Structure 1
Amino acid sequence: MGPQLLLDTSHLMKHVDALDEAVRTHANAQPAARHERIVVDFVQRQCAEIINLGVALGCAAFCMGIVLGVYLLLERL
């Protein structure tokens, strides 16, 4: 089994996607769907920001690894 993410949102996102689909199909029938849509948009935006932050941190760690590796190689010369 692979490592678990600190914040696993897969179950939440499945629920949000199902809610999003329900809101889209019943938007005209239910006036409360507007509030649900706001919640869905908020959760999707937050998830995208968390993913962007994770990617940025991963890139920074990779770059720091390269810099540290080059520094250690040059130190041995």
Structure 2
Amino acid sequence: ERKYEILEKGHRYLDIDIDEIPIFIRKNKVLVLGKHANTVDDIDNEELVVIAFVEDKASYTYYDDDGRTLDYR
């Protein structure tokens, strides 16, 4: 379960559980999330979640590295 909240500028104290991790994203930025993996061999990028908070414009480049070879060159 994900919770999204837009905060105004300034300092905040957040009431969160010990097992929660807050992520702060600036406006017009993109965050790409994948499934949890314990090792590079376990990474599965077949399904990604793209989160973007856009007021003007935002873009990203998807770079798929297999983690083993130099095929990206």
TM-score, length of structure 2 as denominator length: 0.23
TM-score, length of structure 1 as denominator length: 0.22
Larger radius of gyration: 1
Report the structure, 1 or 2, having the larger strand content: 2
